[in-house]
C-alpha cells in the first residue's frame, strides 16, 4: 500500500458514511426546508415562493389540533413516564429478591413495535368488548370507558399506551442512576440519622440530574416521533381528534398529495426537536471530547 | 561513528500551542538516555516523535544515521515499551511477542527461535500460553519487554514503563532494566518523571520543562552542577537547598551572607568562586551540610544553626532549619545530638556549592 | 445497590418493617400485572373463538382453546386485496432486517474505530454530525427519500428498504462502537503500529476480537429498531414488499367484513415474537444498548 493510502485510510473509511450523512440527512433536510417554501402540491416545485405553507398550517384547524395534541400528549407522556419510572426504580432499589424477573417484566414492552402496542391497547380499550364490557360484566352496570371513541378523551388513550410502552425504559435508566450514587454519601447521611425517604429526596434524586435530562431527551424524541402508535391505536381519530404533526405530515404527503404542507409540517417537527436536542447534544459533546 | 540517534532543531506544535521547542540531543550506540521532567514537560511527546507516532512540525530526526523524519514507525527499526504495557488482550503471551514478526512475514522457524531466546532471557517461558489478563503487573512488564527485545532494534524506547508498578516491584524492575542494558549493550531512550529512576539508569539525562531542554548531561553532571534553579530543585531527593544570600568581596575571596532566624547572618568565605553578583541563590545539597565532626574537606566552613525539626530516617537524621528565610535540610548522622530547638554547629561544604542568579535562575559558577 | 442495610439511629419496629415490605411487594405486583396484562389479553384473545370474544369478558381464560385464529393470521388473513396472512410479510421483514443489521453494524464498527482511535480534525465533526442525525424526526426525510429511491429504481423494493435502514441506522451503530472503542487505551494501537500493523490489520487482529459485547448490543438494538419500524415500511414499500408491521396494521384496520379480533391478536403476537424472543434471551445486552448513548460514561 502506498504511503498516501496508508496515511489517509481512516479518512477514506469514514468518507462513504460522511457523504451518506451529508446527503441523506442534511441534504434532505435542506430539500424539505426548500420545498416548504414553495407552492408544491402533488409534485414538488422548486420556485421559492413565500411562507404560504406555514400560513396554511397556522390556519388549518386540523394542524392546530395536531399541535395541541402534541403538547398535551408530550407533556403528559413525559411527566407520567418519568414519575412512574422513578417510582418503579426506587421500589426496585430496595433489595428485591426477584429483581431480575421483575425488571424483565417492566421492560419488555420496549421490545415491541408500537404497532403491536397500539393494536393490543386498541383491543383492550374497545368500548363494546374491551375493559368496559368486562367491568360491566363484573356487575358495575354503569361503568363507562369509551375514551377510544370519545374525541375529547382519545388522546389520553395514546398517553396510556405510550406510558405502558416506555416507562420500563425510564425505570432502567433511573435504576442505573440510583445505583451509581456514591455509597459513602449515603452512609454518612444514615449515620446522621436521616430517614430513608429523606435520603432519597434530598441526596439521591438531586444527584441524578444528568440522568433526568437524558430520560427527558429520549422521551421527548419518542413523543415527537409517535406516529406508529397513533396509526395503530386510533388511526388519528375519531375524526382528527388524535392527530399529531407526524400523522398530519403523512396524510399530506401520501393521501392528500399536498407536498408543500407535508414539507412544512415536517419542518415544524424538525424545529421542535431541534430546540430540545441541540443544547443537550452541545453540552454532551463538549464534556465527552477528550 | 555516527550517533545512533540525532534530534536536530525539533519543533512540535499541537495546533497553535508549541509543545516542543528547539530540541537538540544525540546519543551514541549503547547509551541509556533518560528524558525526565514534570508532567506536561513534553518528554512523552518527544519520545512519540522519536518513534514516529507523532509527526514533527519542524526539524529532523536521524536514527542509525538515516533521516527518519517522515518514515512510519514500523520502518524506523525501533521497539517501544509502554506505561500500560499495551499487550494485546485477546492474544496469548507467545502471540503477543511474535505478532510483529508475523506482520512482517518472517518465517515460522525464525519466529519460534527468537521467541524461545527472548522468553528464556526474561524467564517468561511458563507464561507463554497465558493471556495478559492472567498475568501480574511485573509479568506483563516482562512480556512487554520481550515483545520489544524480539525485534532486535537499533533503539529501545520506554514510556514510563514502571509507573504502574508498586514501589517494591518498581525497584526490582529498575535493576532488571539496567542489567538488560548492560548485557545487551543496547541503545535506549527512557521517559520517566521519577528522578531517582533517571539517576540510577541513565548514562545521559535530558531534563525538560515546558517543552524546552533545561540541561543535558551525565547523572553526575546534572547532580553536581545543575544548569539552573529548576534542574537543581527537580533532581535529587531530598531536594537541593536553594538559599537566598548576599555576597561581598573581602580580601580573602567572596563573602557569603545568609540570614539566620533570630540571630545575625551566617558569614562564609568562598575562596574559589569570586566574581559573584550581590544577590545570589546558593544551592547546597543536604549531604553537604553535616555535623562538624564529620566535615570532610577543607572547603568546609562552620556556622551555628538553630534546628527547627529533626526527622530520624534510619541511617541518617534530617535536620530542618530556617536560613535565608527558607527551610533548609541538613543530612546528619543517625547518632547526632541535634534536637529540635537546639543550636547545632554545622559544616557547609563550599566545594560542592552551586550559585544561581535569582532572576534568570541560571547557574553562575 | 444503594446499601440501606446500615441500621439508622431511628430503627423501625420489626412489624413496621414487615408491613412496609409487604406493601412494597404488593405495589411491585400491581405494576407487574399492569405490564403483563396486555400480553395476557393478547394471548388469551387469540386462543378464543369469535363467539366467546363477543361475550365480552376480556380477562378470562378461553373456555375452549382454539388455534384457528393463529392459522388464519399466519396464512389466511387479509392485508388489503391479498389474503395470504402474515407469513409472506414476516419473510419480508427477515429479508430486510438481517442484511440491514449486518451492514449497518459492520460500517458502524469501522466508523467507531476511526473516530475513537485515529484522531484527526474532521473525525469529531463527523461524529457530531452523525449524532445529531440520530435525533431528527424521519418525517423530514420521507419525501426526498421517496424521490431518490424512485430515481434509483429501488422504490418499493426490499433492497430499497435495506438501504434506508442502513443509512439511518449508521448513527446509532457508530455511536455504540465509538463509545466502546474510546475506552480501549490508545497505547494498544501505538504498540501495534510499532509492530508494523496497518489500519485494517489493527482492526482485524486487535479490536474485532475485543468487540463481542458491543457487537451483540448493536445487533440486538438494530434488529429491534428495524423489525419494529413502521414509518419507513409503510412509506417505501409496495403490496408485495411490506414488512410485517405494515401487514399487521393492514389486517387490523381493514374495513372489509367481520372484525376478527382473535386473528388480530394472533397476528400481533406473531409480529412481536422475534423481538420479544431476542429480548428474553439477551435482555441485558438490550438494556445496555438502550442506555449506551443516554447515560454518561
Q: Which residues of B touch C185 (CB under 8 A)?
A: 84, 86
**CATH number of the domain within which A281 lies:** 1.10.3720.10
pLDDT at C4: 52
Provide the 3-class DSSP secondary structure of residue A83: helix
Task: Domain of residue A158: give its range.
Answer: 60-288
- Mean pLDDT (whole number) for B252-271: 83
Question: In this complex, which of B79, B82, B103 lies closest to C201 when CB atoms are compared?
Answer: B103
pLDDT at A100: 83
Asked if the Cβ–Cβ distance from C187 to B86 is below 8 Å, we say yes
- Going from the C-alpha of A73 to that of each of A77, A157, A171, A216, the distances in angstroms are 6, 10, 20, 14
pLDDT range class, residue B27, cuts 50, 70, 90: very high
- Going from the C-alpha of B113 to that of each of B36, B107, B109, C8, C51, the distances in angstroms are 36, 10, 6, 66, 82
Neighbouring chains to B with at least 3 Cβ pairs closer than 8 Å: C
d(CA A59, CA A62): 9
Q: Which residues contact C72 (CB under 8 A, 6 or more apart)?
A: C85, C260, C263, C266
Contact call for residues A164 and C34 (beta carbons, < 8 A): yes
Q: Domain B241-356 is in which class?
A: mainly beta
What is the percent of chain B with per-residue pLDDT over 70, rounded to a whole number?
99
pLDDT at A290: 39
B270 to chain C, closest Cα gap in Å: 52
Q: Which residues of A touch C126 (CB under 8 A)?
A: 14, 17-18, 21
Contact call for residues B189 and B155 (beta carbons, < 8 A): yes
pLDDT at A173 > cutoff 90: no
- Mean pLDDT (whole number) for A9-23: 92
Q: Which residues of C touch A16 (CB under 8 A)?
A: 107
pLDDT range class, residue C15, cuts 50, 70, 90: confident
* Parallel/antiparallel/unpaired status of strands B300-313 and B316-323: antiparallel
- Residue among B271, B247, B255, B251 nearest B358 (CA): B247
Is residue C188 less than 8 Å (CB to CB) from chain B?
yes
Torsion of the alpha carbons at C74, C233, C37 and A233, rounded to the nearest 10: -110
Beta-carbon-side half-sphere exposure of residue A271 (alpha carbons within 13 Å): 12
pLDDT at A29: 94
Q: Which residues contact B211 (CB under 8 A, 6 or more apart)?
A: B12, B18, B19, B20, B21, B41, B42, B45
Q: Which residues of C touch B53 (CB under 8 A)?
A: 190, 193-194
Asked if the Cβ–Cβ distance from B83 to C187 is below 8 Å, we say yes
In a domain, A175, yes or no: yes
Interface B–C counts its CB contacts (< 8 A) at 57
Q: Which residues of C touch A222 (CB under 8 A)?
A: none
* Parallel/antiparallel/unpaired status of strands B204-209 and B32-36: parallel
Which three cell numbers mark C256?
372489509
Which candidate in B16, B100, B111, B189 is best for mutational testing of the C interface (most C CBs within 10 A)?
A: B100
Q: Which residues pair with B349 in a beta bridge?
A: B300
Asked if the Cβ–Cβ distance from C188 to B147 is below 8 Å, we say no
Mean pLDDT lowest for which of A99-108, A193-202, B311-320? A193-202
d(CA B119, CA B130): 13
Asked if the Cβ–Cβ distance from C3 to A96 is below 8 Å, we say no
Asked if the Cβ–Cβ distance from C294 to A215 is below 8 Å, we say yes
pLDDT at C294: 47
pLDDT at C289 > cutoff 60: yes
Q: Which residues of A touch C10 (CB under 8 A)?
A: 193, 195
Q: Which residues contact A175 (CB under 8 A, 6 or more apart)?
A: A89, A92, A93, A103
Could you say which residues from 144 to 163 on chain B have a Cβ atom under 8 Å away from some Cβ of chain C?
A: 147, 159
Q: Which residues of C touch B147 (CB under 8 A)?
A: 191, 195
In a domain, A148, yes or no: yes
pLDDT at C296: 34
Task: Domain of residue C21: give its range.
Answer: 14-66
Burial of B351 (0-12, 13-18, 19+ CB in 10 A): middle
Which candidate in A10, A53, A174, A263 is best for mutational testing of the C interface (most C CBs within 10 A)?
A: A10
Provide the 3-class DSSP secondary structure of residue B38: coil
User: Cα–Cα–Cα angle for A178, A180, A185, nearest 5°?
Assistant: 90
C279 to chain B, closest Cα gap in Å: 28
pLDDT at C22 > cutoff 60: yes
Contact call for residues A280 and C293 (beta carbons, < 8 A): no
Question: In this complex, which of A9, A217, A263 lies closest to C143 when CB atoms are compared?
Answer: A263
In a domain, A22, yes or no: no
Backbone angles phi, psi at C242, to 5 degrees: -70, 145
Neighbouring chains to A with at least 3 Cβ pairs closer than 8 Å: C
Mean pLDDT lowest for which of A197-206, A215-224, B22-31, B129-138? A197-206
Which candidate in A67, A80, A111 is best for mutational testing of the C interface (most C CBs within 10 A)?
A: A111
What is the percent of chain B with per-residue pLDDT over 90, rounded to a whole number?
55
Torsion of the alpha carbons at C274, C276, C278 and C280, rounded to the nearest 10: -150
pTM listed for this prediction: 0.84
In a domain, A31, yes or no: no
Indicate the average pLDDT of chain B: 90
d(CA B100, CA C136): 45
Torsion of the alpha carbons at B202, B208, B211 and B214, rounded to the nearest 10: -120
Q: Which residues contact C90 (CB under 8 A, 6 or more apart)?
A: C244, C247, C270, C271
- Mean pLDDT (whole number) for B150-172: 90
Q: Which residues of B touch C206 (CB under 8 A)?
A: 88, 90
Which candidate in C196, C199, C213 is best for mutational testing of the B interface (most B CBs within 10 A)?
A: C196
**Which residue in C has a C-alpha nearest to residue A166's C-alpha?**
C35
In a domain, C286, yes or no: yes
pLDDT at C237: 92
**Which residue in C has a C-alpha nearest to residue A28's C-alpha?**
C141
pLDDT at C114: 94
Q: Which CB contacts under 8 angstroms, 24+ apart, belong to C255-262?
A: C256/C78, C257/C78, C258/C50, C260/C50, C260/C69, C260/C72, C260/C77, C261/A123, C261/A126, C261/A129, C261/C45, C261/C50, C261/C53, C262/C45, C262/C46, C262/C47, C262/C48, C262/C49, C262/C50, C262/C53, C262/C68, C262/C69
**Which residue in C has a C-alpha nearest to residue B150's C-alpha?**
C195
Query: pLDDT tens digits for A213-237?
Result: 888 888 888 887 789 999 998 887 7
Asked if the Cβ–Cβ distance from B83 to C188 is below 8 Å, we say no
Is residue A177 less than 8 Å (CB to CB) from chain C?
yes
pLDDT at C290: 61
- Residue among A167, A204, A191 nearest A93 (CA): A204
- The DSSP-derived string for C187-220 is HHHHHHHHTT--HHHHIIIIIHHH-HHHHHHHHH
Question: In this complex, which of C53, C144, C231 lies closest to A32 when CB atoms are compared?
Answer: C144
Could you say which residues from 76 to 135 on chain A have a Cβ atom under 8 Å away from some Cβ of chain C?
A: 88, 91-96, 102, 104-117, 119-124, 126, 128-131, 133-134
d(CA A244, CA A74): 10
Is residue C196 less than 8 Å (CB to CB) from chain B?
yes
- Going from the C-alpha of B202 to that of each of B6, B224, C68, C94, the distances in angstroms are 17, 15, 86, 65
pLDDT range class, residue A1, cuts 50, 70, 90: low
Query: Can you say how many angstroms the Cα of residue C100 is from the centroid of all Cα atoms in its chain?
Result: 13
User: Cα–Cα–Cα angle for C102, C107, C108, nearest 5°?
Assistant: 95
pLDDT at C9 > cutoff 50: no
Neighbouring chains to C with at least 3 Cβ pairs closer than 8 Å: A, B
pLDDT range class, residue C239, cuts 50, 70, 90: confident
Query: pLDDT tens digits for A238-257?
Result: 888 888 999 999 999 888 88
- Mean pLDDT (whole number) for B69-73: 89
**Which residue in B has a C-alpha nearest to residue C118's C-alpha?**
B53
pLDDT range class, residue C56, cuts 50, 70, 90: low
Contact call for residues B216 and B208 (beta carbons, < 8 A): no
Q: Which residues pair with B14 in a beta bridge?
A: B17
Q: What are the domain boundaries of chain B?
A: 5-234, 241-356
- How many CB atoms are closer than 10 A to CB C139? 28
d(CA B343, CA B321): 10
CA torsion sign, C163 to C165 to C171 to C175? negative
pLDDT at C1 > cutoff 50: no
Contact call for residues A280 and A213 (beta carbons, < 8 A): yes
Query: Helices H, strands E: what count in chain A?
Result: 14, 0
Q: Domain B5-234 is in which class?
A: alpha beta
Secondary element (H or E) of residue C152:
helix C139-152
Is residue C190 less than 8 Å (CB to CB) from chain B?
yes
Interface A–C counts its CB contacts (< 8 A) at 299
d(CA B359, CA B80): 40
pLDDT range class, residue B1, cuts 50, 70, 90: low
d(CA C102, CA A25): 21
Which three cell numbers mark C112?
467507531
The conformational region for residue B40 under phi > 0 = left, psi -120 to 50 = alpha, else beta, is left
Q: How many domains does chain A have?
A: 1
d(CA C105, CA C97): 12
Mean pLDDT lowest for which of B104-118, B340-354, C148-162? B340-354
Asked if the Cβ–Cβ distance from A186 to C2 is below 8 Å, we say yes
Backbone angles phi, psi at B117, to 5 degrees: -60, -50
Is residue C185 less than 8 Å (CB to CB) from chain B?
yes
Asked if the Cβ–Cβ distance from B88 to C196 is below 8 Å, we say no
Which candidate in B47, B71, B88, B155 is best for mutational testing of the C interface (most C CBs within 10 A)?
A: B88
Question: In this complex, which of C139, C141, C278 lies closest to A246 when CB atoms are compared?
Answer: C139
In a domain, A30, yes or no: no
d(CA C195, CA B103): 8
pLDDT at A199: 79
Is residue C137 less than 8 Å (CB to CB) from chain B?
no
- How many CB atoms are closer than 10 A to CB C130? 25
- How many CB atoms are closer than 10 A to CB A213? 16
Which three cell numbers mark C296?
454518561
- For residues C166 and C277, state if they share a domain: yes
Instruction: Provide, for chain C, the percentages of residues in helix, strand and coil under a 3-state DSSP scheme, each rounded to the nearest 5.
Output: 75, 0, 25
Which candidate in C38, C171, C185 is best for mutational testing of the A interface (most A CBs within 10 A)?
A: C38
Query: pLDDT tens digits for C250-266?
Result: 888 876 677 888 888 99
Question: In this complex, which of C28, C135, C249 lies closest to A115 when CB atoms are compared?
Answer: C249
Provide the 3-class DSSP secondary structure of residue B293: helix
Is residue B51 less than 8 Å (CB to CB) from chain C?
yes
pLDDT range class, residue B260, cuts 50, 70, 90: confident
Which three cell numbers mark C234?
409503510
Helix boundaries (H) for B294-340: none
Contact call for residues A155 and A240 (beta carbons, < 8 A): no
- Going from the C-alpha of B112 to that of each of B135, B177, C271, the distances in angstroms are 22, 24, 56
Burial of A48 (0-12, 13-18, 19+ CB in 10 A): exposed
Mean pLDDT lowest for which of B195-199, B254-258, C59-63, C288-292? C288-292
> Which residue is it, cell 416506555?
A166
pLDDT at A143 > cutoff 90: no
Asked if the Cβ–Cβ distance from C205 to B99 is below 8 Å, we say yes
Q: How many domains does chain C have?
A: 2
d(CA A164, CA A111): 12
- How many CB atoms are closer than 10 A to CB A30? 11
- Mean pLDDT (whole number) for C97-124: 92
Q: Which residues of A touch C39 (CB under 8 A)?
A: 108, 120
Instruction: Provide, for chain B, the percentages of residues in helix, strand and coil under a 3-state DSSP scheme, each rounded to the nearest 5.
Output: 30, 40, 35
Is residue C206 less than 8 Å (CB to CB) from chain B?
yes
Contact call for residues B306 and B320 (beta carbons, < 8 A): no
Amino acid at each position: 500500500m502506498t504511503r498516501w493510502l496508508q496515511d489517509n485510510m481512516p479518512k477514506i473509511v469514514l468518507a462513504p458514511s460522511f457523504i451518506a450523512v451529508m446527503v441523506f440527512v442534511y441534504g434532505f433536510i435542506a430539500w424539505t426546508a426548500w420545498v416548504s417554501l414553495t407552492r408544491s402540491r402533488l409534485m414538488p416545485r422548486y420556485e421559492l415562493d413565500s411562507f404560504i405553507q406555514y400560513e396554511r398550517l397556522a390556519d388549518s384547524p386540523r394542524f392546530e389540533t395536531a399541535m395541541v395534541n402534541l403538547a398535551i400528549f408530550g407533556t403528559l407522556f413525559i411527566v407520567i413516564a418519568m414519575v412512574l419510572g422513578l417510582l418503579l426504580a426506587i421500589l426496585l432499589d430496595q433489595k428485591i429478591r426477584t429483581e431480575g424477573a421483575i425488571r424483565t417484566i417492566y421492560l419488555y414492552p420496549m421490545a415491541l413495535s408500537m404497532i403491536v402496542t397500539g393494536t393490543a391497547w386498541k383491543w383492550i380499550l374497545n368500548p363494546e368488548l374491551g375493559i368496559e364490557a368486562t367491568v360491566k360484566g363484573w356487575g358495575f352496570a354503569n361503568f363507562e370507558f369509551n375514551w377510544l371513541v370519545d374525541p375529547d378523551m382519545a388522546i389520553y388513550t395514546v398517553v396510556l399506551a405510550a406510558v405502558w410502552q416506555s416507562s420500563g425504559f425510564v425505570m432502567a435508566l433511573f435504576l442505573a442512576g440510583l445505583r451509581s450514587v456514591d455509597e459513602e454519601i449515603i452512609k454518612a447521611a444514615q449515620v446522621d440519622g436521616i430517614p430513608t425517604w429523606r435520603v432519597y429526596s434530598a441526596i439521591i434524586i438531586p444527584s441524578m440530574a444528568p440522568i433526568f435530562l437524558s430520560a427527558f431527551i429520549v422521551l421527548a424524541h419518542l413523543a415527537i416521533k409517535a406516529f406508529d402508535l397513533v396509526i395503530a391505536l386510533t388511526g388519528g381519530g375519531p375524526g382528527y381528534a388524535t392527530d399529531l404533526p407526524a400523522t398530519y405530515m403523512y396524510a399530506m404527503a401520501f393521501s392528500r398529495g399536498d407536498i408543500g404542507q407535508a414539507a412544512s409540517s415536517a419542518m415544524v417537527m424538525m424545529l421542535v426537536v431541534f430546540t430540545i436536542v441541540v443544547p443537550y447534544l452541545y453540552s454532551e459533546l463538549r464534556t465527552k471530547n477528550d | 561513528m555516527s550517533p545512533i540517534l540525532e534530534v536536530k532543531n525539533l519543533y512540535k506544535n499541537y495546533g497553535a500551542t508549541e509543545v516542543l521547542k528547539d530540541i537538540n540531543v544525540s546519543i551514541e550506540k549503547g547509551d541509556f538516555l533518560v528524558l525526565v521532567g514534570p508532567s506536561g514537560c513534553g518528554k512523552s511527546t518527544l519520545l512519540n516523535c522519536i518513534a514516529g507516532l507523532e509527526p514533527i512540525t519542524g526539524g529532523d530526526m536521524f536514527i542509525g544515521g538515516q533521516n527518519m523524519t517522515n518514515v512510519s514507525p514500523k520502518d524506523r527499526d525501533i521497539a517501544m515499551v509502554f506505561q500500560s504495557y499495551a499487550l494485546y488482550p485477546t492474544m496469548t503471551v507467545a502471540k503477543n511477542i511474535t505478532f510483529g514478526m508475523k506482520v512482517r512475514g518472517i518465517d515460522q522457524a525464525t519466529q519460534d527461535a527468537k521467541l524461545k531466546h527472548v522468553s528464556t532471557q526474561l524467564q517468561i517461558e511458563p507464561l507463554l500460553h497465558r493471556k495478559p489478563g492472567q498475568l501480574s503487573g511485573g509479568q506483563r512488564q516482562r512480556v512487554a519487554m520481550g515483545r520489544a527485545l524480539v525485534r532486535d532494534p537499533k533503539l529501545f524506547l520506554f514510556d514510563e514503563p514502571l509507573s504502574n508498578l508498586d514501589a517494591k516491584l518498581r525497584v526490582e524492575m529498575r535493576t532488571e532494566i539496567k542489567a538488560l542494558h548492560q548485557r545487551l549493550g543496547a541503545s535506549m531512550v527512557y521517559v520517566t518523571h521519577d528522578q531517582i529512576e533517571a539517576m540510577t539508569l541513565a548514562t545521559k539525562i535530558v531534563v525538560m520543562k515546558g517543552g524546552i531542554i533545561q540541561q543535558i548531561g551525565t547523572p553526575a553532571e546534572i547532580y553536581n552542577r545543575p544548569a539552573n534553579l529548576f534542574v537543581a530543585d527537580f533532581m535529587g531527593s531530598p531536594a537541593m537547598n536553594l538559599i537566598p544570600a548576599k555576597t561581598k568581596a573581602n580580601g580573602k575571596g567572596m563573602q557569603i551572607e545568609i540570614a539566620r532566624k533570630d540571630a545575625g547572618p551566617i558569614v562564609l568565605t568562598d575562596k574559589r568562586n569570586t566574581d559573584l553578583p550581590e544577590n545570589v541563590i546558593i544551592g547546597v545539597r543536604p549531604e553537604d551540610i553535616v555535623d562538624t565532626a564529620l566535615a570532610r574537606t577543607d572547603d568546609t566552613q562552620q556556622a551555628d544553626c538553630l534546628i527547627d525539626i529533626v526527622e530520624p530516617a534510619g541511617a541518617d537524621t534530617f535536620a530542618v532549619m530556617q536560613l535565608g528565610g527558607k527551610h533548609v535540610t541538613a543530612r546528619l548522622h543517625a547518632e547526632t545530638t541535634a534536637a529540635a530547638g537546639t543550636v547545632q554547629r554545622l559544616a557547609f561544604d563550599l566545594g560542592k556549592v552551586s550559585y544561581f542568579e535569582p532572576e534568570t535562575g541560571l547557574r553562575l559558577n | 445497590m444503594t446499601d440501606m442495610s446500615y441500621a439508622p439511629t431511628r430503627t423501625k419496629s420489626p412489624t413496621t418493617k414487615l408491613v412496609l415490605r409487604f406493601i412494597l411487594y404488593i405495589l411491585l405486583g400491581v405494576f407487574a400485572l399492569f405490564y403483563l396484562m396486555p400480553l395476557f389479553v393478547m394471548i388469551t384473545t387469540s386462543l378464543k373463538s369469535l363467539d366467546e370474544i363477543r361475550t365480552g369478558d376480556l380477562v378470562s381464560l378461553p373456555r375452549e382453546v382454539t388455534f384457528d385464529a393463529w392459522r388464519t393470521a399466519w396464512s389466511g388473513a387479509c392485508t388489503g386485496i391479498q389474503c395470504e396472512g402474515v407469513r409472506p410479510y414476516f419473510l419480508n421483514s427477515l429479508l430486510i432486517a438481517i442484511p440491514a443489521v449486518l451492514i449497518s453494524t459492520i460500517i458502524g464498527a469501522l466508523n467507531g474505530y476511526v473516530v475513537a482511535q485515529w484522531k484527526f480534525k474532521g473525525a469529531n465533526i463527523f461524529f457530531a454530525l452523525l449524532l445529531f442525525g440520530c435525533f431528527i424526526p424521519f418525517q423530514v426525510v420521507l419525501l426526498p427519500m421517496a424521490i431518490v429511491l424512485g430515481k434509483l429504481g429501488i422504490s418499493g423494493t426490499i433492497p430499497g428498504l435495506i438501504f434506508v435502514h442502513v443509512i439511518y441506522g449508521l448513527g446509532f451503530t457508530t455511536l455504540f462502537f465509538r463509545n466502546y472503542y474510546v475506552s480501549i487505551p490508545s497505547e494498544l494501537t501505538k504498540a501495534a503500529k510499532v509492530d508494523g500493523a496497518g489500519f485494517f490489520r489493527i482492526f482485524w487482529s486487535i479490536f474485532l476480537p475485543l468487540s463481542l459485547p458491543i457487537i451483540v448490543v448493536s445487533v440486538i438494538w438494530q434488529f429491534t429498531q428495524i423489525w419494529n419500524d413502521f414509518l419507513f415500511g409503510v412509506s417505501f414499500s409496495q403490496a408485495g414488499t411490506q414488512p410485517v408491521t405494515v401487514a399487521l396494521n393492514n389486517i387490523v384496520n381493514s374495513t372489509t367484513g367481520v372484525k376478527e379480533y382473535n386473528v388480530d391478536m394472533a397476528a400481533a403476537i406473531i409480529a412481536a415474537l422475534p423481538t420479544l424472543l431476542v429480548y428474553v434471551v439477551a435482555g441485558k445486552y438490550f438494556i445496555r444498548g438502550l442506555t449506551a448513548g443516554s447515560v454518561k460514561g
